Amino acid sequence: MTTLKEKLHEKILAHRSRTAALLRDHRHVEIDRVTIGQCIGGIRDVKCLVTDISFLDPQEGIRFRGKTIPETFSQLPHVPGCEYPYVEGFWYFLLTGDVPTMEETLEVVEDFSLRSAVPQYVIDILRAMPRDTHPMTMFSMGVLAMQRESIFARKYAAGMKKSDYWDPMYEDCCNILARIPAIAAYIYRMKYRSDTIIPPGRYLDIGANFAHMMGIPRPYDDAARMTFIIHSDHESGNVSSHATHLVASALADAYYSLTAGLNGLAGPLHGLANQEVLRWIQEVYHRLGGKVPSEDDLREYIWETLNSGQVIPGYGHAVLRKTDPRYLALKEFCERHLHDNELFRVVNLIYKVAPSILMEHGKAKDPWPNVDAQSGVVHWHFGITDYDFYTVLFGVGRAIGVLATIIWDRALGYPIERPKSITTDMLEKYAHGGSWDF
Ligand code: HAX
């Protein structure tokens, strides 16, 4: 057993009694009430999910295991000579809540490299798909195709105690995480780089290996580490995390569960917004003369987009009420590495102009940029101009958080999720003073 798995097991044993005590002694304590607005309006703000992996404060933004993004970046072990921490050390941290030592981190790097071979049939399936298939469909299919590898599914079928569920779930999740960077890079090289596949390197960490397989020189390895970490999790309620958790709650294995999450990520109001941002910026750019637009031209273009009933992609959020710290982390990277990049100048200009327009427009509760407003520029700078690929990059990162969550879901024995629905008739009767006797 690796140090990480042993440590995780200890943490699980210690944590179970906390969940059990809450259920035993405080089961009926009310923590929230639900309004008709929330019921019809996407369950906003209803506190009905538990995760210790991350927490999203509307004003402060995300904390992973209690740490802000800058704290996470500065406190986790760094790849020698690089600006950002090992993704593998971050995985250790998300699973256990403990900052790993360099030795513990390198053990995960080695463990992942032993798990990383992508089965040939997955490659065959990807190659059989029409090349104009959206890369998110390919990515999702690649993960789902591997379901036959599920150790959880095999052990469950053979008969297993509930308290042991977390163990094969952990194995499946590590196998998936070790393989998906290679699947993503394979899709990229096959689809956009004339099928010139680059085999994985040996003994490289996820960031370095991903950059290598994409065929992009340094510092793209650091860009990959940084973007995978910041995209990993945004607490449990967002579509991709919730979909993964929901499907896993039926004891579906990690392959089925993650695929569900990735499919949710592919919605334009969620992860696909990063491709939409680039599509929209390209339109702005070309419509306004193939150069960085003036503030007035940009203002006019934003109003035109809003008046035609479309959203400004990359702006607004269901929970956040300030500039997304993930946007700021990306901006900081851009300031160091892309300061004279034209696209970055356009993104900065949008940041200067769009929030006040959205406030004046008066609809969006959050007029500030989210992560998707800035992420594409980084990839574009490194030559990934095929922006429909960007959500796949988000997906590799998102897998880290949602897989950590479903391991803990299994460890704590969370039950199958099943909220109660009601009819419009019932709501109307209750809203007009009827009693709740349904
Ligand atoms: N541009 C124009 N209108 C916007 C807007 C934007 N960027 N953001 C919100 N609004 C509108 C909504 O469409 C809604 O209009 P209607 O009342 O006509 O339906 C109104 O403002 C109220 O919405 P809200 O309560 O502020 O926002 P929601 O919680 O309903 O939705 C979204 C949050 C992120 C989906 C929304 O802000 C949006 O569509 N943004 C643009 C797409 C985007 O960037 N998505 C990525 C979000 C981050 C993420 O999940 N990444 O994966």
Per-residue model confidence (pLDDT) at position 94: 98
Dump pLDDT digits (tens) for 243-253: 999 999 999 99
Write the residue with the smallest CA distance to atom 3 of ligand 1: 311
What residue type is 236 in one-letter code?
S
With 0-12 CB in 10 A as exposed, 13-18 as middle and 19+ as buried, what is 201?
middle
Dump pLDDT digits (tens) for 335-377: 999 988 999 999 999 999 999 999 999 999 999 999 999 999 9
Distance in angstroms (rounded) separating the CA atoms of residues 245 and 239? 10
Write the residue with the smallest CA distance to atom 47 of ligand 1: 270
Dump pLDDT digits (tens) for 225-265: 999 999 999 999 999 999 999 999 999 999 999 999 999 99
Whole-number Å distance, alpha carbon 311 to ligand 1 midpoint, is: 7
DSSP 100: P
> What is the pLDDT averaged over residues 13-41?
95
Dump pLDDT digits (tens) for 61-93: 999 999 999 999 999 999 999 999 999 999 999
> What is the pLDDT averaged over residues 154-181?
98
> What is the pLDDT averaged over residues 91-107?
98
Considering the domain 67-270+399-409 in this protein, what is its CATH number?
Answer: 1.10.580.10
Token output for 237: 């309620």
Considering the domain 273-381 in this protein, what is its CATH number?
Answer: 1.10.230.10
Q: Name 256's Cβ contacts closer than 8 Å, sequence gap at least 6.
A: 144, 147, 247
Whether residue 312 contacts residue 367, with contact meaning beta carbons closer than 8 Å, is answered with no
253, HSE (Cβ side, Cα atoms, 13 Å): 26
Token output for 414: 């969370």
- Catalytic residue, from 78, 231, 245, 317: name it: 317
Q: Could you tell me if the CB of 324 is within 6 A of ligand 1? A: no
Which pTM was predicted?
0.97
> What is the pLDDT averaged over residues 181-196?
98
Per-residue model confidence (pLDDT) at position 391: 97
With a pLDDT cut of 90, the percent of the chain lying above it is: 94
Whole-number Å distance, alpha carbon 303 to ligand 1 midpoint, is: 16
Domain segments of the chain: what residues?
Answer: 3-48+419-431, 67-270+399-409, 273-381
Per-residue model confidence (pLDDT) at position 438: 65
Q: Could you tell me if the CB of 364 is within 6 A of ligand 1? A: yes
pLDDT > 90? residue 395: yes
Q: Name 137's Cβ contacts closer than 8 Å, sequence gap at least 6.
A: 129, 266
Whole-number Å distance, alpha carbon 335 to ligand 1 midpoint, is: 27
Write the residue with the smallest CA distance to atom 35 of ligand 1: 269
- Taking the CB of residue 350, how many other CB atoms lie within 10 A of it? 25
